[in-house]
Structure 1
Amino acid sequence: MTFSLILFLLTVFTGVLWVLDVFIWAPKRRAAAQDELTAFDRDNADSLRRGEQTVVATRNAIVQASTDRPKWLEYTAGFFPVIFFIFILRSFLFEPFRIPSGSMMPTLETGDMILVNKYQYGLRLPVINTKILPIGEPERGDVVVFRYPPNENIDYIKRVIGLPGDKIEYINKKLSINGKPVPIGEIGEYYDEAKMQSLEEFLEKLDKTEHHLLINPRAPSSVYPLSTHTDPKACDYVPGGLVCMVPKDKYFVMGDNRDNSEDSRYWGFVPEKNLVGRAFMVWMNVSKPSRIGFFN
């Protein structure tokens, strides 16, 4: 949010100077240069006819001055087209993020730099995040970036599990949606190098999306809500897990590293207005370039 505000203010500031320069200051510079050029040509007519290099060079300098911006404008208004392009790209099309933790392993790893599609869920005004053009809605299985409900200055990334109106059951590390167990198949052992521990890797199918997830068999199944839970009355915390009814215009999200993710099981639901966009690509990982590419 802070960077978005700074970029917006910088765009406005340089844009105002660019408009003033294009429509007011630049025409004045050209008019003043033309008057100077007319007087110069009159006073140096004979030298110009003889082609004296010094005089010709002076005349060329006057012509050049009519198009040159002052240095302070060159470093403000001159950067407006570039800043404006970045602002439009980042605000309405694609925004880069960096994965800071392992909560989405094995899909995303710490250090992955990802791209987020910002228009798939509708165009929003930057800074205030108000939707101005509805385009689509999240689907089960989407990996989404959103503003963390308890602290909207923080961006989180998780996978959409439950849509508005869904009944979500996560008991003894088994997921059911609307009374139907979610299909899951065991892949084998996964070694977490960062924590030096072995986890169990599975393939889960959420509607059209198949993705890998991790389970720590040694971690407890119990789940306890945080004091900052968005909708405490929408969830029942039972032995070994919880049962939730997803409220209207909200989403239930979880990390793929199920036993190492602070998500909707603990703090509640993601309001539609908090959505930033759908993550779809790792565009860089400095230590592991092989991870570059699209993901589910």
Structure 2
Amino acid sequence: MSIGIKATRSSWAETAIIVVQALAIAMFVRIFFYQPFNIPSGSMKETLLIGDYLFVSKLSYGYSRFSFPFSPDLFSGRIFGAEPKRGDVAVFKLPRDNSTDYIKRVIGLPGDEIQMKNGQLFINGQAVPKVRDGEFVTREDGIPARHIPVYDETLPNGVKYQVLDSDPNGPYDNTGVYKVPEGHYFMMGDNRDNSTDSRVRSAVGFVPFENFVGRAEVIFFSAKVDEPDALRWWSPWTWPFDIRWNRFFHLVR
């Protein structure tokens, strides 16, 4: 009998060790390599939807103090840094408080001049091609379905993505020229008329390189949380119909 008890205790100890090791590996990966984020707002539609869960690569831009939990003030600047590329979808700490996570697209690089004219993006005086490409249908917050025009934009480096234009006379469809300072970036949401981004200087403004957390890489889970048939946690039998299966392992571009 005593042998059986010892064997049981040994089995429990081995299981506990395995669990602790797995947690340690997961924490190491989260801190230094890939961090999960979820999308709480529609500012990046239709690239990212509310209810998307994605992995963000910290290796992409190297490390700053904002790369780590609680942003410890261990060093300034970045180590092993690689500069963001125009068109990247990136997570950064809001410069206003250095703690809130935002996700937007890199539009302007240091030294660029950015401007919006009649809803069209201009970079260094050149219009970014904007071509109509269908409609995006949204039924968020229980309101009737809305059909929002979708446009393809192609940046000077060839990166192509889609933007929404829900208001032909949006508040930031016409702006002055934004001159991006050295060491900073100009970020914009793909849902142009429903995005608080670098166009709003008092809220976001130019984003320092140090504030970048990482580049969005892949969606690993997605659930309807802002639609009439949103995910209902209390009814597991509906989950297969509330999950957006077609977005699993969808690369962020």
Shorter-chain TM-score category? Answer: 0.7 to 0.9
> Secondary structure in 2 aligned to 1:103?
coil
1:202-251 Cα distance to aligned partner (Å, 9 max, x none): 1001223110111123443447xxxxxxxxxxxxxxxx322111111111
**Structure with the greater alpha carbon radius of gyration:** 1
Confirm or deny: 8 A CA contact 2:106 2:187 kept in the other structure: yes
Offset at residue 92 of structure 1 (A): 1.2
Whether 1:133 and 2:73 are equivalent positions in the alignment is no
Offset at residue 78 of structure 1 (A): 6.8
Confirm or deny: 8 A CA contact 1:173 1:241 kept in the other structure: no
Structure 2, unaligned stretches of length 5 or more?
224-242
Cα distance in 2 for residues equivalent to 1:61 and 1:198: 67
Cα distance in 1 for residues equivalent to 2:6 and 2:147: 73
Q: Which has the higher contact order (CA 8 A, sep 6+)?
A: 2
Picking from 176, 197, 202, the partner of 2:122 is 176
> Secondary structure in 2 aligned to 1:121?
coil
Offset at residue 135 of structure 1 (A): 4.1
Whether 1:211 and 2:161 are equivalent positions in the alignment is yes
TM-score of the superposition, structure 1-length normalised?
A: 0.66
Name the counterpart of 1:290. 246
Offset at residue 96 of structure 1 (A): 1.0
Offset at residue 192 of structure 1 (A): 2.3
Confirm or deny: 8 A CA contact 1:162 1:253 kept in the other structure: yes
Cα distance in 2 for residues equivalent to 1:253 and 1:197: 26
Cα distance in 2 for residues equivalent to 1:122 and 1:282: 21
Confirm or deny: 8 A CA contact 1:112 1:285 kept in the other structure: yes
Cα distance in 2 for residues equivalent to 1:150 and 1:132: 19
Offset at residue 122 of structure 1 (A): 0.6
Structure 1, unaligned stretches of length 5 or more?
1-56, 224-239
Name the counterpart of 1:152. 98
Name the counterpart of 2:53. 113
Whether 1:197 and 2:146 are equivalent positions in the alignment is yes
Whether 1:166 and 2:77 are equivalent positions in the alignment is no
1:216/1:270 CA distance change after superposition, 3 Å: same
1:261/1:160 CA distance change after superposition, 3 Å: same
> Secondary structure in 1 aligned to 2:182?
coil
1:100/1:62 CA distance change after superposition, 3 Å: closer
Name the counterpart of 1:220. 170
Confirm or deny: 8 A CA contact 2:172 2:199 kept in the other structure: no
> Secondary structure in 2 aligned to 1:241?
coil
* 1:213 counterpart letter in structure 2: V
* 2:170 counterpart letter in structure 1: P
Offset at residue 295 of structure 1 (A): 2.7
1:70/1:214 CA distance change after superposition, 3 Å: closer
Cα distance in 1 for residues equivalent to 2:192 and 2:215: 20
> Secondary structure in 1 aligned to 2:133?
strand
Confirm or deny: 8 A CA contact 2:90 2:213 kept in the other structure: yes
TM-score of the superposition, structure 2-length normalised?
A: 0.77
* 1:89 counterpart letter in structure 2: V
Percent identical pairs in the alignment equals 36
Offset at residue 151 of structure 1 (A): 2.8
Confirm or deny: 8 A CA contact 1:124 1:132 kept in the other structure: yes
* 2:209 counterpart letter in structure 1: E
1:156-190 Cα distance to aligned partner (Å, 9 max, x none): 11000001111111122111111111122111332
Whether 1:275 and 2:212 are equivalent positions in the alignment is yes
> Secondary structure in 2 aligned to 1:133?
coil
Alignment of 1:78-93 (within 5 A): 79-93=19-33
Name the counterpart of 1:9. none
Cα distance in 1 for residues equivalent to 2:80 and 2:244: 37
Confirm or deny: 8 A CA contact 1:117 1:279 kept in the other structure: yes
Confirm or deny: 8 A CA contact 1:147 1:153 kept in the other structure: yes
Whether 1:251 and 2:188 are equivalent positions in the alignment is no
Confirm or deny: 8 A CA contact 1:172 1:221 kept in the other structure: no
1:160/1:61 CA distance change after superposition, 3 Å: same
Confirm or deny: 8 A CA contact 2:34 2:55 kept in the other structure: yes
Cα distance in 1 for residues equivalent to 2:61 and 2:113: 23
